[in-house]
């Protein structure tokens, strides 16, 4: 039996890899604005919401933008991203993701999703796993992006579980910080050298096992 009552997952980089689609969409937008953009810089956008990512990109350029201009650019990026994710299928689930979700539910724990992506519902539908979650946070209703703990606290509240009884799973530094500041146990997916605040780090959900926590 797990000592936890709920597991709250991030989406991008944990359950599926939409990072490449985000990269292509941001790169197209940045280059249209004359801003250099590569995979190294893209790492800084992991776990950051859309407007926050846009601000980081535009800060590398030489001109300033009005809020209306920024909103238009964000919409342009999102339309391109939506075109890309429309091609997703259940085959785009990362190795171990479906088994991890099944293990959590079989153990009688609640499952939540805490993604800053405003397209999370679409992605879950394309992957065929929306019904695997007891609660999915609507990122459009979250005021503070990761590393602020709001999104994980919102998930816990709507699952009816105290933060201390929740385990969060994240692949980004900002996401792990969000979990820890929410008062939860953090499982990082990636490198221990990067995800230093995580309580435990695994290379992928293939290594996820509730009996380890």
Closest to 144 measured CA to CA, from 18, 49, 13: 49
Does 119 count as an annotated binding residue?
yes
Does 164 count as an annotated binding residue?
no
Does 26 count as an annotated binding residue?
yes
Q: How far is CA 19 from CA 26, 67, 199, 205, in A?
A: 10, 26, 24, 17
Does 110 count as an annotated binding residue?
no
Does 171 count as an annotated binding residue?
yes
Does 12 count as an annotated binding residue?
yes
**Does 212 participate in catalysis according to the annotation?**
no
Does 47 count as an annotated binding residue?
yes
Q: For residue 7, give the H/E element and its range.
A: strand 6-9
Does 199 count as an annotated binding residue?
no
Residues 162 and 156: their CA atoms lie apart, in Å, by: 6
Strand order in the sheet with 6-9: 135-136, 110-113, 6-9, 166-170, 185-189, 200-202
**CB distance 198 to 176 below 8 Å:** yes
Per-residue burial over 154-181, b = 16 or more CB atoms within 10 Å of its CB, e = otherwise: bbbeebebebebbbbbbbbbbbbbbbbb
Does 131 count as an annotated binding residue?
no
**Does 10 participate in catalysis according to the annotation?**
yes
Does 170 count as an annotated binding residue?
yes
Catalytic residue among 12, 134, 165, 181: 12
Catalytic residue among 10, 134, 165, 181: 10
Q: How far is CA 25 from CA 119, 142, 153, in A?
A: 14, 23, 30
Task: Give the three-state DSSP class for 207.
Answer: helix
Does 209 count as an annotated binding residue?
no
Binding site members:
10-12, 26, 45-50, 53, 77, 115-119, 146, 170-171
Binding site members for Mg(2+):
10, 12, 170-171
Binding site members for substrate:
10-12, 26, 45-50, 53, 77, 115-119, 146
Active site residues: 10, 12
């Amino acid at each position: 039996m797990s000592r936890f009552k709920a597991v709250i997952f991030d989406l991008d980089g944990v359950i599926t890899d939409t990072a490449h689609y985000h990269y292509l969409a941001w790169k197209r937008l940045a280059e249209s604005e004359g801003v250099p953009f590569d995979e190294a810089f893209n790492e800084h956008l992991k776990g950051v919401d859309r407007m926050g990512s846009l601000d980081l990109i535009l800060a590398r350029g030489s001109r300033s933008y009005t809020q209306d201009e920024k909103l238009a650019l964000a919409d342009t990026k999102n339309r391109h991203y939506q075109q890309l994710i429309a091609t997703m299928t259940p085959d785009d689930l990362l190795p171990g993701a479906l088994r991890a979700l099944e293990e959590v539910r079989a153990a009688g724990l609640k499952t939540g999703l805490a993604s800053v992506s405003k397209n999370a519902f679409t992605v879950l539908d394309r992957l065929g796993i929306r019904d695997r979650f007891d609660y999915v946070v609507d990122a459009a209703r979250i005021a503070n992006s990761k590393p602020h703990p709001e999104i994980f606290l919102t998930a816990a509240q709507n699952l009816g579980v105290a933060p201390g009884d929740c385990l969060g799973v994240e692949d980004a530094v900002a996401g792990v910080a969000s979990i820890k500041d929410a008062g939860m146990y953090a499982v990082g997916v990636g490198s221990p050298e990067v995800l230093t605040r995580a309580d435990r780090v695994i290379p992928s959900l293939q290594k996820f096992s509730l009996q380890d926590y």
